[in-house]
Structure 1
Amino acid sequence: MTVSLSGVHVLAEDLDAALAFYRDTLGLTVRNQVAQGGFRWITLVTDSQPEIAIVLSQPHAGRSKEDGDALAALLAKGELQMLQLRSDDLDATFDKIAAAPGAEVLQEPVSQPWGARDIAVRDPAGNLVRIEQG
């Protein structure tokens, strides 16, 4: 039996701002966009790992109002789980993110004590994104 990662969900109130960050700034490719029940979600992939998707969706999509409100509150506080990515050129990636509208730099490129060289940013929705040199 083999189990592998197929996707990661990232919440965003403003899907257009999130799409601009992940597609235009980070270079991911849109696989599909689906609208249903007044909400939509966007699936993005990378050229190097097209089998692993990042799915952008809204906190209230497919949830009760109470659960959506709770997730939206956590998202607004920046308290949801972080997304970890890898870049083959961390400095160039950092420069693009630093110039991107809506992104917040939390940590410039630095070598960490555990061996990784990485950056930390918040995407336009407030999600913590760490990117390491790969």
Structure 2
Amino acid sequence: MKFASVRIITADIKPLVQFYEQVTGVTLTQYTADFAELHTPSATLAIGSTRTLQLFGGEQVANAADNRSVIVEFRVDDVDAEYRKLADLISGSLVQEPTTMPWGNRSLLFRDPDGNLVNFFTPVTPEAVKKFDQ
């Protein structure tokens, strides 16, 4: 088995596509007006409109902008530099400024336009660096 992607369901994909392009600096591939993907070397973040739920059995399958259990995480080279670069963009959705966590990552936590949690992190302890460099 190979992990492929995580998909966010939203009522309007345009704001999310723009947001993720701004915060990651990566242009998303938009296949249709209802589906886009952000490709990275390690994983893909898919964004689908609520209209795509019809293909999975109906709109009751997922609720847009209703996530309270998942954090979308991106490993970055320097989380403090990313914070300085994004401070104005995420000021209204900032959850936590860069903080070193007990497991050795320095993390910046904020919300996307739909309220989904996003974590930018950099491993900073020798143990965390070793874990991600394997």
After TM superposition, give the deviation of residue 102 of structure 1 in Å.
8.3
Which stretch of structure 1 is more off in the superposition, 100-109 or 20-29?
A: 100-109
Question: CA 1:65/1:11 → structure 2, altered by over 3 Å: closer, same or farther?
Answer: closer
After TM superposition, give the deviation of residue 12 of structure 1 in Å.
2.6
- Which among 122, 129, 132 is matched to residue 111 of structure 2? 122
Assess if the C-alpha contact under 8 Å between 2:8 and 2:48 holds in 1. Answer: yes
Assess if the C-alpha contact under 8 Å between 1:117 and 1:133 holds in 2. Answer: yes
Could you state the TM-score of these two structures normalised by the residue count of structure 2?
0.75
The letter for the 2-side match of 1:44 is L
The letter for the 2-side match of 1:55 is A
Assess if the C-alpha contact under 8 Å between 2:75 and 2:122 holds in 1. Answer: yes
Q: Structure 1 regions of 5+ residues with no counterpart?
A: none
Assess if the C-alpha contact under 8 Å between 1:98 and 1:104 holds in 2. Answer: no
Measured in 1, the distance between the counterparts of 2:93 and 2:105 equals 21
The letter for the 2-side match of 1:116 is N
Higher RCO (CA 8 Å, separation ≥ 6 residues): 1
Measured in 1, the distance between the counterparts of 2:36 and 2:110 equals 21
Assess if the C-alpha contact under 8 Å between 1:29 and 1:44 holds in 2. Answer: yes
Report what 1:7 is aligned to.
Answer: 5
2:82 matches 1:93: yes
Assess if the C-alpha contact under 8 Å between 2:5 and 2:43 holds in 1. Answer: yes
After TM superposition, give the deviation of residue 9 of structure 1 in Å.
0.8
Q: Structure 2 regions of 5+ residues with no counterpart?
A: 124-134
Question: CA 1:42/1:88 → structure 2, altered by over 3 Å: closer, same or farther?
Answer: same
Report what 2:129 is aligned to.
Answer: none
The letter for the 1-side match of 2:30 is N
Report what 2:47 is aligned to.
Answer: 56
Assess if the C-alpha contact under 8 Å between 1:120 and 1:128 holds in 2. Answer: yes
Q: Percent identity?
A: 26
Assess if the C-alpha contact under 8 Å between 2:50 and 2:59 holds in 1. Answer: no
Question: CA 1:60/1:32 → structure 2, altered by over 3 Å: closer, same or farther?
Answer: closer
Measured in 1, the distance between the counterparts of 2:70 and 2:26 equals 20
Assess if the C-alpha contact under 8 Å between 1:102 and 1:123 holds in 2. Answer: no
